[in-house]
Amino acid sequence: MIDKRKKYTMVFDTETTGEIVTSKNGHEIMQKYIYDIGYTIADKKKIHLKRNFIVKEIFENVNLMNSAYYKSKIPMYNEMIENDEVDIIPFAEIVKTIQKDIQMYNVKAVAAYNISFDLDAFMQTTNTIYPNQFQMLFRTTKKGNYAPDTEQFFQKYIARRNLEIIDIWTLACQTLCNQKTFQTYYKQETAKGNIKSNAEIVYSYIIDNEFIEDHTALSDSIIETEILQRIQRIHQKIETKFAFMPYRLIQKNI
């Protein structure tokens, strides 16, 4: 039974393929197309729902899938589909399921790790699969290409509800990555000297063990949910829930 007194958050992850396209004004743009969508609906303590879908229009496009970063996983996905472990269905049906789940649980927020990537992918995937329906949204002006804000797009066309947008990466950089134990035992730096704060290293920290992501949508959304739940149990003021370059929020030499 769903307890409507609780605040439910949808945490999602996407795996994408893509291609470089040239806009009418001559700029090269990397388009991202979702082929694997996974999400959870959870409160601060428990995951109440898990979903996983393969996007039929993208996954069955051989040329697009051959450009996927994790194309080596295609045989694994084929096996999952054959064993009925995951449904491969049209994107529109996936979106309808997302909307029904949001309504059923009265979801108040949507979250992801580096959520700007996923929001962008949702918009680009929609525009690619259904170009005629959305041609007025994605139009060329005298100043160049125009597209709606990705947050507004997700809320209006995917969720069909105004939701709080939360970037788990931003939250983690403000909280977990600024803890002394993280900085003492798990701090790693990039070539540019920034402290690494991806989901893999942050999850390793909260379970206190080395962890390697599967880079499949449902599996990654589950670990990201656990990271969010850990942050929600910290009694600390959150300054922002969605920041550009959130790793800049990490203090060095704590």
How would you write the pLDDT of the chain (254 residues) with one tens digit per residue? 788 778 999 999 999 998 877 666 666 777 899 999 999 999 999 999 999 999 999 999 999 999 888 889 999 999 999 999 999 999 999 999 999 999 999 999 999 999 999 999 999 999 899 988 877 666 655 566 656 689 999 999 999 999 999 999 999 999 999 999 999 999 999 988 899 999 999 999 999 998 888 889 999 999 999 999 999 999 888 888 988 899 999 988 76
Are residues 68 and 95 both part of a single domain?
yes
Q: Is 229 in a helix, a strand, or coil?
A: helix
Is 154 inside a domain boundary? yes
The reported pLDDT for the residue numbered 136 is 63
Cβ count within 10 A of residue 78: 13
Are residues 120 and 211 both part of a single domain?
no
Residues in the chain: 254
d(CA 112, CA 171): 11
Are residues 70 and 158 both part of a single domain?
yes
Is 1 inside a domain boundary? no
CA atoms within 13 A on the CB side of 227: 33
Are residues 129 and 22 both part of a single domain?
yes
CA 155: distance to chain centroid?
14
Which of 167, 184, 217 lies at the terminal end of a domain, its last residue? 167
The amino acid at residue 126 is T
Are residues 118 and 155 both part of a single domain?
yes
The amino acid at residue 189 is E
Are residues 156 and 190 both part of a single domain?
no
Which of 118, 152, 167 lies at the terminal end of a domain, its last residue? 167
Which ranges in 107-216 belong to alpha helices (H)? Answer: 115-129, 150-153, 168-174, 180-185, 199-207
Structural domains in the chain (count): 2
Is 2 inside a domain boundary? no
Is 216 inside a domain boundary? yes
Is 4 inside a domain boundary? no
User: Which residues contact residue 230 at a Cβ distance below 8 angstroms, ignoring those fewer than 6 apart?
Assistant: 176, 206
Are residues 79 and 151 both part of a single domain?
yes
Are residues 160 and 175 both part of a single domain?
no
Is 42 inside a domain boundary? yes
Is 111 inside a domain boundary? yes
The reported pLDDT for the residue numbered 137 is 67
Q: Is 234 in a helix, a strand, or coil?
A: coil
Any idea of the CA torsion for 199, 201, 202, 207, to the nearest 10 degrees? 120
User: Which residues contact residue 99 at a Cβ distance below 8 angstroms, ignoring those fewer than 6 apart?
Assistant: 158, 159, 160, 161
d(CA 247, CA 190): 11
The reported pLDDT for the residue numbered 26 is 67
The reported pLDDT for the residue numbered 27 is 67
Are residues 38 and 156 both part of a single domain?
yes
Are residues 211 and 234 both part of a single domain?
yes
Question: Looking up tokens 């149990």, which residue turns up?
Answer: 233
Are residues 150 and 228 both part of a single domain?
no
The reported pLDDT for the residue numbered 90 is 97
Which of 135, 152, 167 lies at the terminal end of a domain, its last residue? 167
Lookup: tokens for 236? 């600390």
Is 25 inside a domain boundary? yes
Task: Answer whether 154's CB lies under 8 Å from 126's CB.
Answer: no
d(CA 159, CA 122): 11
Which structural domain, as residue segments, surrounds residue 205? Answer: 169-249
Are residues 45 and 92 both part of a single domain?
yes
- pTM metric for this prediction: 0.91
